[in-house]
């Protein structure tokens, strides 16, 4: 079976429908023998009822603003700071990019005009871009949905395209995967998407097709758990099983080691944090 020593898509209690702390996830990563853990809580209007108003209150997003206090290595595990940002428009705009913020967490005015997205991702090592609310794309053509994913991939902080196989928005897989490869960005193989779906179902088949296209076009993948509770951290067996079935090349698994994932960050133009 393929090696996978990183889990770069996990959630904590900040995501509200997840149930563990950062430390509990770190300990679970250690016990699972992982070298690197990425904590990527939801950055989405699923979190707060007023998130779609004309402006946001930064006090609701303090979790992201103070990630600097996290150790870079904790219990022997490299710890990365991330966010899973929702794709919210057909041009690939992400949650928070249309929401201005005017005050800091103490109520004081900010020095310059900024958006919620820019303020939050400033402290992130990388961003996963995913579709959760797909109503905006309900009537999208294949070309429009393809442009949506291409637009998301073009965002500088976006490193990973999240669980596209289960989003329910059809797109030109070869075009999106090819662009991800060109930009040195990663396509996620999401174990949670596979664990809950039967093999003959559409989600499994969509994920398999994406993986096969990644192998064909030389695009690296991130094999992740999408854990919402610590006991699922590192649990990617369904994804590895599927990849083994199609003889997916180990060298295209960016999560095979901490070094490989950090090298993928560097290739995508992201700053690699010191240990």
Range of weakest confidence among 11-20, 174-183, 188-197: 188-197
Chain segment 214-270, per-residue pLDDT in tens: 999 999 999 999 999 999 999 999 999 999 999 999 999 999 999 999 999 999 999
What is d(CA 103, CA 95) in angstroms, rounded to the nearest whole number?
A: 19
Chain segment 88-143, per-residue pLDDT in tens: 999 999 999 999 988 888 888 888 888 999 999 999 999 999 999 989 999 999 99
Q: Which helix (H) or strand (E) holds 240?
A: helix 237-245
What is d(CA 107, CA 121) in angstroms, rounded to the nearest whole number?
A: 20
74, β-bridge pairs: 77
Chain segment 199-214, per-residue pLDDT in tens: 657 899 999 999 999 9
Q: Note the pLDDT of residue 195.
A: 79
Chain segment 19-65, per-residue pLDDT in tens: 999 999 999 999 999 999 999 999 998 888 765 556 678 899 999 99
134 close to 273: Cβ distance less than 8 angstroms: no
List, in sequence order, the alpha helices (H) in 59-128. Answer: 62-65, 116-121
- Which residues are CB-neighbours of 225 under 8 A, at least 6 positions away? 7, 9, 10, 191, 192, 232, 233, 234, 235, 236
Mean pLDDT of the residues in the chain:
94
Question: Looking at residues 150-175, what average pLDDT do you find?
Answer: 97
Structure tokens at 101: 């913020």
Domains belonging to the chain, first-starting first, are: 6-267 (3.20.20.140)
Structure tokens at 262: 């950090």
List, in sequence order, the alpha helices (H) in 80-187. Answer: 116-121, 142-153, 173-182
- SS3 call for 130: strand
9 close to 226: Cβ distance less than 8 angstroms: yes
- Which residues are CB-neighbours of 231 under 8 A, at least 6 positions away? 28
Residues 188, 51, 118, 103, Cα dihedral to 10°: -160
Q: Note the pLDDT of residue 200.
A: 59
Q: Give phi and psi for 11, each to the nearest 5.
A: -130, 155
How far from each other are the two terminal CA atoms of the chain, in whole angstroms?
Answer: 29
Q: Note the pLDDT of residue 196.
A: 66
């Amino acid at each position: 079976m393929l090696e996978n020593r990183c889990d770069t898509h996990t959630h904590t209690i900040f995501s509200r429908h997840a149930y563990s702390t950062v430390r509990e996830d770190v300990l679970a990563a250690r016990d699972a023998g992982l070298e690197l853990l990425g904590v990527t809580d939801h950055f989405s209007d699923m979190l707060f009822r007023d998130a779609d108003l004309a402006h946001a209150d930064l006090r609701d997003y303090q979790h992201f603003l103070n990630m600097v206090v996290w150790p870079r290595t904790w219990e022997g595990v490299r710890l990365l700071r991330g966010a899973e940002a929702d794709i919210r428009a057909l041009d690939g705009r992400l949650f928070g990019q249309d929401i201005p913020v005017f005050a800091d967490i103490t109520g004081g005015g900010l020095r310059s005009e900024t958006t919620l997205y820019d303020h939050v991702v400033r402290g992130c090592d990388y961003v996963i871009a995913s579709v959760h609310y797909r109503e905006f794309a309900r009537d999208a053509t294949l070309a429009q949905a393809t442009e949506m994913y291409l637009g998301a991939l073009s965002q500088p902080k976006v490193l990973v395209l999240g669980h596209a196989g289960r989003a329910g928005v059809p797109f030109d897989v070869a075009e999106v995967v090819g662009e991800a490869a060109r930009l040195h960005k990663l396509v996620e193989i999401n174990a949670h998407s596979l664990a809950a779906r039967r093999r003959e179902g559409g989600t499994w088949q969509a994920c398999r097709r994406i993986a096969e296209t990644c192998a064909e076009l030389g695009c690296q993948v991130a094999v992740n758990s999408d854990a919402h509770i610590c006991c699922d951290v590192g649990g990617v067996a369904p994804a590895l099983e599927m990849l083994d079935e199609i003889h997916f090349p180990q060298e295209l698994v960016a999560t095979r080691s901490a070094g490989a994932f950090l090298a993928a960050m560097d290739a995508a133009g992201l700053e690699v944090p010191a240990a």
